[in-house]
Every structure is written in structure tokens, then in C-alpha cells.
Amino acid sequence: MYVSLAKEYIGETMNRFISRVLVSTVTTVMLASASIGTTEAATIPSAYQYSLDELQQKYPGTRTQGKYNTCWAFSAVGLAEFDLIHDDKIANKNIDLSELQLSYYTYHNEEDPLGGTYEDMLNTYRYLEIGGNLSLCTRALLQWQGLIPEEKLPYNKADSLQILDKSYAFNKDVAHLQNVYILNIHKQAQAIKKEIMKHGAAGISFHAGNRHGEYDTKAVYGRTGETVATYYCPVSDSADHAVNIVGWDDDFPAENFKTRPAGNGAWLVRNSWSDQTGNDIKSYFWLSYYDKGIEDDAWILDFEPADNYDFNYQYDGCSVVSKSWTTPVSANVFQTKGAANEQLRAVSIALNEDENVPYTIKIYTNIAKRSNPRSGILAATVKGKTTYEGNYTIPLKKAVSLPKGTYYSVVVELGRSDAGIDIERSTANSHFASSAYIDYNQSFVYKNGVWVDLADAGAIHQTGNLCIKAFTDKSGTSIGKVGTVKNGRTTKNSAKLNWAEVSGAKGYEVYRATSKKGTYKKIATTANTFYQDTTLASKHTYYYKVRAYKTKGKNNVTGTLSSPVKMRTK
């Protein structure tokens, strides 16, 4: 069903992620495996990455957004490049990713290869002019619409580009955004420093207009002897420009600013107004800790190489999300579509308005009733706790086998009653319209003992699907289905069943339920083509299903469950 567009300007909604200001002011990458997650850095130094020479040796030079309002895309791409160099150590300063590609796909949704984001739409022809923010473009990146090398779509083509071929969205990417951490720069400055030490940079927005602050003020920086640029806005004003923090100095003198701030200390900022890297307001400058035009949110983006997972199962293709439900239990149900057999390796949840949230993730396979996400086999459980607001990719301890065509669910149980998984929202304003599409049997919340299908609630609340994703790999092999399971002799307390051998099977898993469409639980693993269940009650009816499995490497590859067989004890 379609969720109609909310008739509200993007800057006037109650949700702070919808209302983020649209900020604007005028090489092939060698990738390998990568780590994820936040870090507890060592003792935070009073000054870090403060030398222009050090930055030039390690990272790419600054770049210019030119005449377009794309500072937000340059900020996001800079965060990606710094992270892949600093955190993942899989790139060097020659890395050059396409800001034009990200700008385009932030405002032009493409349906993902598995069809999960069907009819989630956002389109505008003024994508280079209307501005943007890290909230919007990270939504595109989390859907894996990017990033690609600059050489495949250079920024100098911006003047002539109208429509991109869909292949630029998903088929040329070299990096995937997997984690987003959102911190308050005015309350969590030390934590931001820790994350910069891990990921290389943080993205911020600030008021760059010169009606309050002084641009390009020059000062001699004592630590390096360089003449550097400084900027300080003494008056609170709305943010209108996105940049990256790459370093800091707690002792940067207050007298180095034309208008003196309340104390020492400054962030070293990387700008996007020049491709001639230097100590000037256009490329690298010092921004006072006390600047009153800095927006609260600082963004840490954690990327991985694009070969990290084969498939991204998702429904949340809309560009705007918010916490619309404060229910601690929610779920998405997916159907395996990518390969004959897949291995579920990780899931992703979005909690952009809640921090420090305990969670339990449960994976159910072979869903019997799509309207009930728990009506399958509990295949995996993983527990943890988030740190900051943001998006978290959570690896499973052991991969879960998913035969093609079967349904599985990701059930999220949050440890706080006031927390809630983000959900996509339809939004319209004078610049663009973003609409969320939701169908039945996709996203659910658990309230008052029943599962509520959000397709029923979406039209009322102007919402779509939950921001829950699942990441899988091709297993490279598959195993056939067990044929008819035959019921053998029963006694008061036992039942025997048998089945035909499946070619290539290492063994078989036996499942039991007390009703035909009930929850089946694994009761045995056997290498034989028969099994006798000796733990039954007399005069009771039981139902059994069997599936074959084999191993590949350290993983089990399972087939689909057989049809149920009914047995009754004497």
C-alpha cells in the first residue's frame, strides 16, 4: 500500500531527523576485509592530527564543490575516505570517491536488486542546488547506493548530467556504509575525539555565513610555526555548511581569533571550497570550541569494502526516518531470493534517537505464518548494547543457512520501554517529495500480546517499514529437500519415522511441534535416514519435519523442511 505524503515542510516537523537543516554553501580503490564497531581509544591527547604536513602525507587533498550546494556530499565522501584509510587500512591517500554519484542518489531512489525498496521514491531535478545533510545522504549509503570511484563519475560532469543509469547505484560500488554513530558535540566532545582517533574524521554542520564570524583570519600556530586560518562565530545562528573535523588542539590560543572566544581550544576542520590544499578557510582552518553556530550533531561513518556481504535485505528505502513507535519488540520478515542457499551473517538496526540501548536479536527461519514473525525455528540469538544514537550492524556468532524461497524473520527485543527502532516516513516540501511504500507481512511491532502489521498503521501515521536489515552471503552450494517422511510404529511414549536419503547430505535435522502450523523445535540431529523419538506422552498427537544438511567450510548448509507428518502415541 502507498503511504500518502505528509504535507509538511522538512524544517517544521516534530522529529529532529526530519527537520535537519539542508546545509549548503557555495583512482581505483584496493579494498580488503574490514572491522566494525566503536572503540575505546587510548588516553586522548590534548592535540591530534594538527599538522597540515601530516594530513597531506596521509590523506587525500581537499576538493572543491564549485558552484553547487553539495558540501554535505563532500563531507560524507571525506568521512568515507578517511575511514577506509585510517580505520580499515585498505586505502591510501590516492583514494578518490565520487561526490557526484552520492549527490545524485541521495535525491534519486533506485529499487534495490532484491526488490525490497519497491516504490520508496524520492526524486528532484535540482539535487545539486537544494542542499542536503548527512542524515539524508547516509540513508542512501545504508541502502548501498554507493560509493564508486571518482573516475567512473567525475564531478566535472555535473553540468551535463541529468539522469544516471541504474548501474551506477548498485553495480560499481567499492565501499558500503555499515555503521553510523551520532554524537552531541557540545556534550560528548571527548567521545567524538575517541571516534576521530578510530575513524579519522567526524562530520559536522556550522553557520558559515560571514555576517557574524570572521573568515580567513590569520594566526601563527605555535605547535607547527605555520600561518593558519581561524574562524569563530560569536552569535548563535542556524547551520548552513557541512565540513569534517580531522583534528584538534585543546590549547589553541583564544587570541588567535579576531573576536576572542571564551577560552582556548579549537577543532581542525577540512573544508570543500578548494582543491588547492592549504592553511586557509577554503581547505583547512581552525574552528573554536566555543563557536556558537555549530549544530549539535557530529557524525561518525564506518565503512566496509563492498564485498563484505553479497545481499542486503531491506525495506526502508525512504530518505527520511524517525522513531514513531516506542515498543521494545519489533520485527521484519524477509524471503530468501538471492541464491539457491544463503548464509545470514549480520543484521542492522537503526536507533537514531536512542543511545545506550540493550538489545536481543533473534533470527527465526522457515516462518510458517508470515503474519507471525516468531512462527518459525529459532536459529540464532545475539545480545549487546548500543553506545551512541545511530545505525548498528550486528554480526551473528554463527551464520544461519537460508534456502531460497523460505521466509525468515529478524526479531529485535530492546531492553528499554522508551526506545524504538526507526521507521521510514513520507515527507514533502518545496524542494522534494519522499514517499514510503509498505506491504503486508513485512514490518511488525508487538503490542499487547499480538503482532501488529505496520501496513495497517502506516496510512494513519504516515509511516512505512522498520529500519531493520539483514546481510547474507551466497553459500556456494545447496542441498536437496527431504522427500516424504513416513510414520512408522508408535508406542505409548515413542514414535519412529523414516525418509529417503538425500544426495550429498552429511546428516538430517528432526523438528517437532504439537500442532500442524505450530512452532517446530529441533529435537535431534542424525546421520541416519530414520529416527525414533522416545520422549513423548501417551495418547498425544505430534507433527514432525525433517531437513538435510551438509557442511562447507565451517558453515552448515541446510535444505528446506519436509512437509509435516502426523503421529499419535498409544
- Per residue in 252-262, pLDDT (tens digit) is 999 999 999 99
Contact between 216 and 286 under an 8 Å Cβ cutoff? The reply is: no
Please give the order of strands across the beta sheet that includes 121-123.
Answer: 121-123, 433-435, 427-428
**Are β-strands 227-231 and 284-288 bridged in parallel, bridged antiparallel, or unpaired?**
parallel
Cross-strand bridge partners of residue 358:
385
The list of the chain residues with pLDDT below 70 reads 1-42, 210-213, 458-461
Q: Grid coordinates representing 508?
A: 538430517
Separation CA 50–CA 286 (nearest Å): 9
Separation CA 548–CA 525 (nearest Å): 10
Q: Measuring CA to CA, which residue among 116, 37, 35, 25 is closest to residue 69? A: 25
Contact between 481 and 557 under an 8 Å Cβ cutoff? The reply is: no
Q: Measuring CA to CA, which residue among 464, 479, 474 is closest to residue 559? A: 479
Q: Grid coordinates representing 567?
A: 503421529
Q: Measuring CA to CA, which residue among 562, 557, 525 is closest to residue 544? A: 562
Q: Is the dihedral of CA 469, 475, 480, 485 positive or negative?
A: negative
Separation CA 507–CA 520 (nearest Å): 18
Phi, psi of 23 (to 5 degrees): -80, 145
Q: Grid coordinates representing 530?
A: 530414520
Question: Which helix (H) or strand (E) segment is 56 a member of?
Answer: helix 52-58
Peptide bond into 114 cis (omega under 30): no
Separation CA 50–CA 247 (nearest Å): 6
Separation CA 27–CA 416 (nearest Å): 46
Secondary structure of residue 507 in the 3-state scheme: strand
Q: Measuring CA to CA, which residue among 422, 467, 465, 475 is closest to residue 443? A: 465
DSSP state of 327: -
Phi, psi of 198 (to 5 degrees): -90, -45
**H helices of 59-144, where?**
71-86, 99-106, 134-142
Separation CA 364–CA 402 (nearest Å): 10
Cross-strand bridge partners of residue 213:
none
Greatest CA separation for the chain:
93
DSSP 151-190: GGS-GGGTTT-----THHHHSS--EEEEEEEEEETTT-HH
Give the C-alpha distances (Å, rounded to integers) separating 348 from 410, 412, 471, 472.
Answer: 9, 10, 8, 12
DSSP 421-451: --EEE-EE-SS-EEE-B--TTSEEEEETTEE
pTM summary value: 0.91
Q: Grid coordinates representing 403?
A: 534456502
Please report the pLDDT score of residue 429 as a whole number: 78
Please report the pLDDT score of residue 24 as a whole number: 57
Q: Which residues contact 500 (CB under 8 A, 6 or more apart)?
A: 482, 483, 484, 529
